[in-house]
Structure formats: C-alpha cells, structure tokens
C-alpha cells in the first residue's frame, strides 16, 4: 500500500486538506451557519477573519483547497460556501462509531454528538459500570463492555472513540482492533501502540492543561 501520510498519520494525498486547514474549515462552517441564521447573505474574507481570529489570506488559502468561489468586491455567498465546505468534509452517510467509557468525558462527547455532528454517529456506547448502562443516554444505546466485540462486529463499526482511563486504554484498543475498528480517537492520557493500517488521533486533556499552564506562565511573566 504505502499511502501518503504526514508525520502524524493523516492521509493528505488526492485532494486532501491539511490538518490545520480542516480544523479551520470546520470553524468557518460554524460561523457561516451562524451568519445564515442571522440572515446574512454574503461575507468578505476579512469579516470572517475578524470573527475567528485569523488573517483574511489564511481564509482565502483554506478556501482554495476546496475550490474558492468568491467574487471580488462581492465576497462569498454564505449558504453556498457553507454547503461547499460540508460537501468536502462530510460523507453522504455519517460514519458509525462506538464510544467506550461513559465517565465525564464520554458523556460530554455523547452530549455533543447528539446535537450537531453530521459526519459521525455514535451508534453504541460501552462501559463496565452497570448504572451507567442501565438506559440509553442522549438516545444512544449503552452496553456492557463485555459485549463490545460482538456489537462492534455485528454492526460493522470501524470507528472507535476511547474515553476510558489511561490504564485501560491499550487493552480496550486492542479489543476494538480485533473486532474490526480501523480508526480510533483516543481521549485517554496514554499513547497507544496500533497496527500500521489504523489511524489514531489523540485528544489529550492533560497535555492541553499543562501546555496551557506553560504558555500562560510565559504570558504572565512577560513585560506589560
């Protein structure tokens, strides 16, 4: 195979967008939906830039990646642009995903996904705590972790979201891979060992907090 991946494992080849560009496009999409709701029909790159704290050039560059369609002195059509971004970022059907771990983080994810997440649908959740799986949460059926492999396999789920303690993360991940999961979003504070063909992304709240502390300190001790 030997796919073109960047150093973090993201596949960029074939019209692929870079990771920072994808992040920003998601934010632009949000802004455009907000503007549309307010009845705004068109918008300039410098107006968008002010709202999301970037430069107009950055925005135009990002939009190039999905085929810009702005017009000089007229700007971009809000709804049209939003649709264009969505087409690039989302598939026709949301990817079914399994969520493992229904602690605070897991529940926060379910709450978010239940509302507005067109690209991913959490179709099954798992935990080992019986009280957490006694009834569906935000409409998502909750199972005991012992049934995980079976449910994942039966539903052909290929995406997993890990919100378990770091100490359990690798074991759960291995079980998911064995059940056919090829994409994993890991919220646990542990780096995972994964087979070459699986894509992993990490959201490490502990790292975020410590990194923030580092730069905050540098900002605080900076000259006024």
Partner DNA sequence: TTTTGTGAAAGAGTTCACAGCC
Partner DNA sequence: GGCTGTGAACTCTTTCACAAAA
Binding site for a copy of itself (CB under 8 A): 1, 3, 10-11, 16-17, 19, 22-23, 26-27, 30-31, 51-53, 89-91, 94-95, 103-105, 107-109, 111-113, 116-117, 119-120, 158-159, 161, 182-183, 185, 189, 191-193, 197-199, 201, 203-220, 222-224
Separation in Å, CA 130 to CA 4, 31, 89, 114, 219: 43, 40, 37, 22, 46
Separation in Å, CA 163 to CA 68, 180, 189: 37, 18, 9
Burial class of residue 174 in the structure, from the number of CB atoms within 10 Å of its CB (0-12 exposed, 13-18 middle, 19+ buried): middle
Of 75, 96, 141, 180, which one interacts with DNA (CB under 7 A)?
A: 75
Residues in the interface with DNA (CB under 7 A) total 28
- Residues of span 130-189 touching DNA by CB under 7 A: none
194: Cβ–Cβ under 8 A, 6 or more apart, which residues? 173, 177, 184, 200
Query: CB 187 → a copy of itself: shortest distance, Å?
Result: 9
Query: CB 104 → a copy of itself: shortest distance, Å?
Result: 4
Separation in Å, CA 58 to CA 20, 40, 70: 11, 22, 14
Strand 142-144 vs strand 120-127: parallel, antiparallel, or unpaired?
parallel
Q: Which does 87 bind (CB under 5 to 8 A by kind): a copy of itself, DNA, none?
A: none
72 belongs to the binding site for DNA (CB under 7 A) = yes
Query: CB 36 → DNA: shortest distance, Å?
Result: 17
Q: Which does 216 bind (CB under 5 to 8 A by kind): a copy of itself, DNA, none?
A: a copy of itself
Indicate left, alpha or beta for 183 from its phi (over 0: left) and psi (-120 to 50: alpha): beta
Structure tokens at 97: 């995903």
- Which residues make up the interface to DNA (CB under 7 A)? 6-7, 12, 18-21, 44-46, 54-58, 60-61, 63-64, 68-76
């Amino acid at each position: 195979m030997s796919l073109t991946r960047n150093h973090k494992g993201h596949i960029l080849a074939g019209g692929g967008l870079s990771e920072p560009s994808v992040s920003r496009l998601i934010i632009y999409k949000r802004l455009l939906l907000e503007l549309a709701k307010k009845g705004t029909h068109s918008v300039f790159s410098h107006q968008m830039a002010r709202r999301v704290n970037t430069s107009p050039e950055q925005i135009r560059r990002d939009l190039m990646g999905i085929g810009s369609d702005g017009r000089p002195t007229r700007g971009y059509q809000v709804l049209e642009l939003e649709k264009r971004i969505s087409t690039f970022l989302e598939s026709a059907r949301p990817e079914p995903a399994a969520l493992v771990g229904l602690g605070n983080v897991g529940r926060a994810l379910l709450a978010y996904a239940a509302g507005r997440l067109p690209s991913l649908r959490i179709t099954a959740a798992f935990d080992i705590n019986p009280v957490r799986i006694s009834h569906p949460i935000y409409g998502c059926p909750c199972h005991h972790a012992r049934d995980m492999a079976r449910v994942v396999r039966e539903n052909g789920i290929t995406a997993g979201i890990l919100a378990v303690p770091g100490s359990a993360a690798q074991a759960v991940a291995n079980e998911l891979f064995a059940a056919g999961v090829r994409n994993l979003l890991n919220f646990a504070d542990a780096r995972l060992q994964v087979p070459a063909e699986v894509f992993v992304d990490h959201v490490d709240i502990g790292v975020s907090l410590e990194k923030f502390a580092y730069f905050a300190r540098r900002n605080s001790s900076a000259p006024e």
